[in-house]
Amino acid sequence: MLGSRSLEKAKSAVDEIISEKNRDYIKNNLKSAENVSVASGCDILILTVPHENALETVRSLSARFRGNQTLISAVASVTKKGEEFTSSNGSNGMSYAQKINEVVPGSVKVAAAFQTVPANILYREKEISADVPVVTNEPETYHKVASIVSEIDGLRPLYLGSLRLSGEVERLTALLLNIGKRNGLKSPTISFPSF
Ligand SMILES: NC(=O)c1ccc[n+]([C@@H]2O[C@H](COP(=O)([O-])OP(=O)(O)OC[C@H]3O[C@@H](n4cnc5c(N)ncnc54)[C@H](OP(=O)(O)O)[C@@H]3O)[C@@H](O)[C@H]2O)c1
């Protein structure tokens, strides 16, 4: 399900994807919905809204979660200041994922992942080789998120630790955007070779 605040917008995004991808699997399976329906209807949710709106979005949906769900936040802490991208934690020095974890029902397990994966590379299905740091408090949640990451060719999930460390991944996006801009690298990502 592709969610939006507006059903019309979700429908037009789904139509666009179906026409650009022209693949039966997508045509038959990708559905549009309002965010409220996604929150109540999906076992695994991926939150992809700007960081300024992340908390209010989750808060507005919190009564809709049906519980026993996994919420993966791809939210990154990035603000453009002039020619540079900076990141900062929000209030109380807490990361977005930590704050989100405080507003969802206890049976919704929160993880942070995908902050270092450029969306356009995934959408254009370009060949990629990258590591995806995942933070979450429970090993079972990590395994769920890791299996989704692993389904995407070229992505390797790496467990980073508990949500206490989510600020570290949320700040990586600003690092990548600055490196890309200053050095002419298109869509940089990260990987951790081991020797
Ligand atoms: N783009 C990337 O490559 C990338 C990579 C890693 C992480 N991220 C992170 O993922 C998140 C989304 O990035 P993006 O590039 O997809 O951002 P985006 O295109 O600016 O926004 C994504 C969606 O957020 C919703 N949105 C916008 N303003 C909102 C508001 N005031 N309240 C609630 N929802 C709102 C909109 O959906 P509707 O209007 O349809 O509701 C919009 O289509 C960000 O936190 C970003 O840092 C992005």
Residue nearest atom 36 in ligand 1 by C-alpha distance: 49
Q: Is 185 in a helix, a strand, or coil?
A: coil
51 within ligand 1 shell (Cβ under 6 A): yes
pLDDT at 69: 98
pLDDT at 89: 66
Q: How far is the CA of 51 from the centre of ligand 1 (A)?
A: 8
pLDDT at 40: 97
- Those residues of the chain that have pLDDT short of 50 are none
- Return the structure tokens found at 58: 């989750």
- pLDDT over 70 percentage in the chain: 98
pLDDT at 91: 63
What is the pTM assigned to this prediction?
0.97
- Return the structure tokens found at 80: 């453009």
12 within ligand 1 shell (Cβ under 6 A): no
- Rounded to the nearest angstrom, the gap between the alpha carbon of residue 147 and the centroid of all alpha carbons in its chain is 15
CA angle 116, 69, 14 (to 5 degrees): 65
For residue 154, give the DSSP letter.
T
73 within ligand 1 shell (Cβ under 6 A): no
What is the largest distance, in Å, between two alpha-carbon atoms of the chain? Answer: 50
pLDDT tens-digit map of 91-127: 678 999 999 999 999 999 999 999 999 999 999 999 9
Q: How far is the CA of 75 from the centre of ligand 1 (A)?
A: 8
pLDDT at 93: 83
